[in-house]
């Protein structure tokens, strides 16, 4: 049974279903699971990174699976789920991503929106938009 099939069986409502999909997607990113990410991301993914650059599926997965990178657990705030009929949804939240990259600690605060489309019985991310949030001014 696929991850998506198991998630759909557990979900009692459409919103609960997409919440489970989004949680699994976030978890796959943090554990740097390239196989799971490949299954969860559409081949035609449009990924807009924090600098506004348009990238695709390969760059998105490579960004999460770089050797030597490690990510801390995250806490999502102001999460919203918007259903787009039976076959689409937008999941948005704010978070701080922190961890280690290239031997150095990092932390980045941002808001993201993930658009999911039901594809052959499963859900796939088709658009990911990341917007960095500047640190508040000191003082």
Task: Say if residue 138's pLDDT is above 70.
Answer: no
Per-residue pLDDT tens digits for 104-121: 998 889 999 999 999 887
Task: Judge contact between 33 and 25, C-beta under 8 A.
Answer: no
Which whole number is the average pLDDT over 45-67? 95
Which whole number is the average pLDDT over 31-57? 96
**Predicted model pTM:** 0.85
- Model confidence at 139, pLDDT cuts 50, 70, 90, reads low
Which whole number is the average pLDDT over 93-101? 91
C-alpha 59/C-alpha 57 separation (Å) is: 6
Closest to 132 (Cα-Cα) out of 67, 63, 52, 71: 52
Task: Say if residue 10's pLDDT is above 60.
Answer: no
Task: Judge contact between 14 and 86, C-beta under 8 A.
Answer: yes
Q: How far does Cα 120 stand from its chain's mean position?
A: 20
Domain ranges of the chain: 3-132
Domain 3-132 top-level CATH class:
alpha beta
Instruction: Copy the structure tokens of residue 131.
Output: 């917007």
C-alpha 129/C-alpha 100 separation (Å) is: 22
């Amino acid at each position: 049974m696929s991850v998506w099939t198991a998630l759909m069986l557990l979900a009692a409502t459409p919103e609960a279903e997409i919440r489970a999909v989004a949680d699994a997607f976030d978890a796959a990113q943090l554990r740097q699971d390239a196989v799971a990410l490949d299954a969860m991301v559409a081949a035609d993914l449009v990924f807009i990174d924090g600098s506004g650059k348009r990238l695709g599926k390969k760059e998105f997965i490579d960004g999460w699976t770089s050797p030597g990178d490690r990510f801390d657990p995250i806490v999502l705030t102001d999460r919203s789920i918007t259903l787009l009929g039976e076959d689409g949804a937008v999941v948005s939240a704010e978070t701080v991503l922190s961890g280690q990259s290239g031997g150095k600690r990092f932390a980045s605060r941002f808001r993201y929106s993930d658009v999911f489309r039901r594809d052959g019985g499963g859900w796939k991310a088709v658009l990911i938009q990341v917007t960095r949030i500047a640190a508040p001014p000191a003082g």
